[in-house]
Amino acid sequence: MGFLDRGVEIKTPDQIDGMRKAGLVVGQTLELLRGSVRAGITTGELDAIAEDNIRSSGATPSFKGYHGFPGSICASVNDEVVHGIPGDRVIAEGDVVSIDCGAIVDGWHGDAAITVGVGPVREELTRLMRVTEEAMWRGIAAARLGGRVTDISHAVERHVRSQGRYGILEDYTGHGIGSQMHQPPNVPNYGRPGKGPRLVEGLALAVEPMITLGTKDTSTLEDDWTVVTDDGSWAAHFEHTFTITARGTWVLTALDGGEAALTALGVPFGGR
C-alpha cells in the first residue's frame, strides 16, 4: 500500500479484493434490511438485524463505537438526512428510511447506504429516491482513470439539477476509503469538474449524494449525531464504495459489482 500526495491511500489488487469482501457484507446486509423495513419495526430492531448479519458473516460493524456512535447502522427517517441513531423510533407507513452501513473484513472497509420507502410513499418521494440513486451512479460512471475527483462531484450535481429543484447537502461529502472508513480525499456532491486528486488504479472512493426536497441547510440534533433539514423537508441518501481497475469500474458494495448499472451507462465493468 502506498500513499500519493494529499494522503490518498493506494491499494494493491489483493487489498482491493479484501475490500470486496467487506463490500459484499455491506451489500448483503443492506439487502436484508431493505426486506426488513416495514411499518411497526423500530430502527433499533433494524440495527440488531444488521449487527447479527455483519458479525455472522465474519465481519465487524465499522460504525459501532466510531467516535462513540452506538449503532451498527445509521437509520435516518424522513427529515433526518444522515447519522440517525437507531433506537425506539417506530417506522410508519409513508416514511422514507435512509440506512447507512459499514463493515470491516481483515482491516478493510466497505461503506454503502440506501433509502427505502415504507409502503406507498408520496410520488415526490419516490422521485427523490430515484434521482438520488441515479445521481450516485452518474457520479461513479464519471470516474475514469486519469480523471479527477471532482469529475464525480460535477456529474452528481448535474444530474440532480437536471431533474428539478432539490437541495444538495454541501457540509457532508463522499470520501476515500480503505484501511479506514473515512480517508482523503473528500468527494463533494457538487462543483466544477477537473479538480482534486487524480483518479488512479488502487484508489477507492465512497460516493454518497444526500438530497432534499427543500434546501441544503441542515442542523445536528442535541444527540450530537442526527442531521436534520432546517426546513423540515424530507431527504434521501444513497452510497456505494467503488474502485477503478485497468479494465473498468468495480462497485465493491454492489452485489453484482455494479455491472448492470455501469453497463446501462456505457461504462466498462472492471470487477474480478
* Torsions phi, psi for 116 (to 5 deg): -120, 130
**111 touches Mg ion by CB under 5 A:** yes
Distance CA 34, CA 42 (A): 14
In 3D space, the residue among 206, 180, 175 whose CA is nearest the CA of residue 63 turns out to be: 180
Q: Is 59 in the site for Mg ion (CB under 5 A)?
A: no
Burial environment of residue 180 by CB neighbours within 10 A (0 to 12, 13 to 18, 19 or more):
middle
Q: How far is the CB of 208 from Mg ion (least distance, A)?
A: 5
Cis peptide before 185 (omega within 30 of 0): yes
Per CB under 5 A, the segment of 19-27, 92-100, 160-168, 221-229 that binds Mg ion is 92-100
Applying CB under 5 A, among 9, 47, 100, 134 the residue interacting with Mg ion is: 100
Kindly state the smallest distance separating residue 74's Cβ from Mg ion, in Å: 7
**Which among 44-52, 106-114, 140-148, 251-259 is the span making contact with Mg ion, rule CB under 5 A?**
106-114
Q: How far is the CB of 69 from Mg ion (least distance, A)?
A: 11
Number of residues that bind Mg ion (CB under 5 A): 5
Q: Does 47 bind Mg ion (CB under 5 A)?
A: no
Q: Are 144 and 216 in contact (CB under 8 A)?
A: no
- Tell me which amino acid residue 133 is: E
Q: Which stretch binds Mg ion (CB under 5 A): 56-64, 150-158, 201-209, 226-234?
A: 201-209
Cα of 117 vs its chain's centroid, Å: 17
Residues that bind Mg ion (CB under 5 A): 100, 111, 113, 206, 239
